Structure 1
Amino acid sequence: MGATGTAERRALLADRAFLRLWAGTTASGLATWAMPFVLGLAVVDGSLGATALGVALAARTVGFLVVLPVAGVLADRHAPRVVVLLASGVAAAGSFALAAALGRSVVATTAAALLVGAGQGACRPAFQALVPATVAEPDRQAANAAITVAVRASVLLGPAVAGLGAAVAGAAWLVTATGVLWVVAAVAPARTARVGAVGGAAGRRPGFRAEFVEGLREARRHPWFLGGLGALATVIMTGYSVTAVALPLVSADVTGSGVLLAAGATSYTTGALLGGLLLARWRPPSTGWVALGGLGIYAVAPLALALDPRLPVVVAAYVVVGFGIELFNVPWFTALQREVAPERLSRVSSLDFLVSYGLAPLGLALVAPAVDLVGMRAVLLGCAVACVLGPALAALVPGSRHLAATTPTGRAAARG
């Protein structure tokens, strides 16, 4: 198994098309992560107000979510590389406009952030479709692991680099740098063979609504996908959202500063990096159950915050949680690329991202009322239970053990 993983990595490193895709995906992932962090630095240096920051981040989220259903259809209808080029170009233009608007106009800042979010959302399903178009099926898990390792490593180093850049050049120049990353994301992926086309010839294509509904039907053909998506939604709505609110509050109570918050975020990324490195070479025998188990590990984070929020405990908890997230992410994306018909993959992926990112703001909005009603500790413990139950129930769904159709005939039908 180790020799196989090493051979796969060597083959990928020699594959110029994959290296270009890897570079583009890494650039887009780093730019996506960097925007809220860099805008936070803009608040620190006084070039952006706190209210403007909240409005800009909300606008980015709206742009991201609104465009996802359209992006999924477009990436299936046209070459995914073309959609990546256009979407990344939109995000780059929005980033450059955002850099120019900082400290000058809240309206212009909001409009630019909306544009950035639309570009970010449009490129995600297209990048997903480019992986199976570029990498052969036996190498895809290693490819997905290599991509996530690069993004996680960049995020781990990003705060230090961004902080230094903000001190030297200012936040506006850092926003401009994210625009440059989007330019790299736009031009890096190589041309690939067309894997499918929606609706046949251009003159006989169904309408957008029909194409979107066809994507929904494709998703319904895969019970393991619906079960896993339900588990993911549960963890995001409960564990992810509550710890996003609780960790800063606990950090202030325990340390009187943001030390615990920074340590938790760094530990999470470190754990995710370790998980990605492991999955570059390890093939679990029951991939789906291992993935769902990794997702359920998120329960450790609210448990630690509720029961023993000391610095070493929280650091260890978030390393484990980050590790578990990649145990889920890498096999999940690999299964989608293997099991979903190529000409419908972008639409199914857009549903995945729509649920993943769309429920996060809703969960965050519900946390404060829940804490006021029953208290922080009770909310944290309840969320820990939900993080375990969601993946456990998903593991009972047919096909969940291997994230695949239960029989070869069923798999053929799902692809048809």
Structure 2
Amino acid sequence: MVHDVAPAEHQSASVFRSPSFLRLWTGSTASGIATWALPFVLGLAVLERSITAVELGVVLAARTAGFLAAVPVAGVLADRHSRRAVVLWAGLVAGVAAPVIAMGMGRSLVLMATAAAVVGAGQGACRPAFQALTAEVVAEHQRQRANAALTLSVRVTTLVAPGVTALLAVVVDTPVLLVATGVLWLGAALIPPAGADRAPVPGARTRFTADFLDGIREARRHPWFLAGLGALTAVIATGYSATGVVLPLVSRDRYGTEAVLAAALTAYTVGALLGALLMARWKPRHQGWAALAGLACYGFAPLSLLVPAPATAILAAYVLAGVGIELFNVPWFTATQREVDPRMLARVSSLDFLLSYGLAPAGLALIAPAIDHFGAGPVLAACAVVCFAAPAAAALVPSSRGFGTAR
């Protein structure tokens, strides 16, 4: 694959020197913090007995439902209209709904769940719109660094925010923290820059279904995308789900402490930070193969839980899984922004989020019964095999080597 080479001074320049990207990064980071904070703050509300564990489950399920319902709709809207406008309205909707969750605490579960669904819809609408807006704001030769910077902010948030939020909870109550998430959503709505001016597509206005099917057809034009998305979905639905269920049990039953659970999750985040930093500088010769190899590294997480081993082995496996997931994510987003028709980028991105994130709850729902029926060992072994085999199978697709069509 041959690409135009940008001047060396432009390649080495920091993406943060661009005011437009700085605004995009700030807005995206605000949305990421708000997205992460909601379940954590509601968990604190359970500890305070402001809501019950059952209510927490209902509210989070409603948020997930809102997310899944909004993602395909937002993909179509962000391709029909301004990507910036979709980000604006999605952030405003989530920002208004977040305080309503606080209003419903201890009063109305229906009100809480409805508001959470609206917040989830705003979150879901932001995702494909931000992906497409990144391609409009950042030049192609800078997009890998830009995507690395965007994912780096998510990982730093995951690492630092729990402690900060817990400290804030000592000073203010959870309703105030929920209102704060609304303020973050307002920042996500108002801070990002305008995207590129895109000429409207000529022709009569088509129906939503027809537009969405056009996005599916565009995705099918890229075999590497279908193969990579299939591998990602398989890893999330099996390995990610299995470790989410089994890791707390292993931490409690094998090691007699919850510290291993906390350390493993921290190790995963640290690994992802390292992976994002690496991808900000490193461009593998065969980016697709390197990315799929990184995705396969998640298989070491269920493998480390399969047999008795020192806790350090689990931590090492989770660091490796974290590094690997960013070795995949950054080239994956960059290739999608490069290869997909810009007029359909949001729709194709919505397919990515819909399948990879949408099947995660299904995986979690199926893993626990499977463990009860077959035992943790066989389920973990099967999930590890899938995590290794799915990316390997995707790598067999010729265009997967570079995540793109030779030109």
* Distance in 2 (alpha carbons) for counterparts of 1:195 and 1:368: 47
Deviation at 1:8, TM superposition (A): 4.2
Deviation at 1:172, TM superposition (A): 1.5
* Distance in 1 (alpha carbons) for counterparts of 2:297 and 2:9: 28
Quote the residue 1:95 is aligned against: 98
Task: Map 1:187-198 onto structure 2 (within 5 A).
Answer: 187-195=190-198, 197=200
Quote the residue 1:308 is aligned against: 308
Is the counterpart of residue 221 in structure 1 residue 224 in structure 2? no
Deviation at 1:263, TM superposition (A): 1.0
Compute the TM-score of the two structures, normalised by the length of structure 2: 0.96
* Distance in 1 (alpha carbons) for counterparts of 2:398 and 2:91: 37
* Distance in 2 (alpha carbons) for counterparts of 1:156 and 1:255: 23
- Contact 1:291 1:332 (C-alpha < 8 Å) held by counterparts: yes
Task: Return the letter of the residue paired with 2:147.
Answer: N
Per-residue CA deviation, residues 83-125 of structure 1 (Å, 9 max, x unaligned), is 0000011111111111222222111111111111000001100
* Distance in 1 (alpha carbons) for counterparts of 2:194 and 2:357: 29
Task: Map 1:252-271 onto structure 2 (within 5 A).
Answer: 252-271=252-271
Is the counterpart of residue 176 in structure 1 residue 176 in structure 2? no
Deviation at 1:326, TM superposition (A): 0.2
1:134 to 133, 137, 140: 137
Deviation at 1:5, TM superposition (A): 9.2
- Contact 1:5 1:142 (C-alpha < 8 Å) held by counterparts: no
Quote the residue 1:383 is aligned against: 383
Quote the residue 2:57 is aligned against: 54
* Distance in 1 (alpha carbons) for counterparts of 2:187 and 2:246: 36
TM-aligned CA distance change 1:28 to 1:215, over 3 Å: same
Quote the residue 1:164 is aligned against: 167
Deviation at 1:240, TM superposition (A): 0.4
- Contact 2:99 2:175 (C-alpha < 8 Å) held by counterparts: no
- Runs of 4 or more, structure 1, over 6 Å off, are none
Instruction: Let me know the Cα RMSD of the aligned residues.
Output: 1.4
1:107 to 106, 110, 114: 110
Worse-superposed segment, 97-106 or 308-317: 308-317
Quote the residue 1:33 is aligned against: 36
- Contact 1:6 1:281 (C-alpha < 8 Å) held by counterparts: no
* Distance in 2 (alpha carbons) for counterparts of 1:153 and 1:315: 18
Task: Map 1:7-406 onto structure 2 (within 5 A).
Answer: 8=11, 10-195=13-198, 197=200, 199-200=201-202, 204-405=204-405
Deviation at 1:192, TM superposition (A): 2.0
Compute the TM-score of the two structures, normalised by the length of structure 1: 0.94
* Distance in 2 (alpha carbons) for counterparts of 1:68 and 1:310: 41
Residue identity over aligned pairs, in percent, reads 57
Task: Return the letter of the residue paired with 1:72.
Answer: G
Deviation at 1:159, TM superposition (A): 0.6
- Contact 1:195 1:342 (C-alpha < 8 Å) held by counterparts: no
Deviation at 1:13, TM superposition (A): 1.8
* Distance in 2 (alpha carbons) for counterparts of 1:8 and 1:184: 30
Task: Return the letter of the residue paired with 2:150.
Answer: I
Task: Return the letter of the residue paired with 2:322.
Answer: G
**How many residues in Structure 1 have an aligned counterpart in Structure 2?**
401
- Contact 1:64 1:120 (C-alpha < 8 Å) held by counterparts: yes
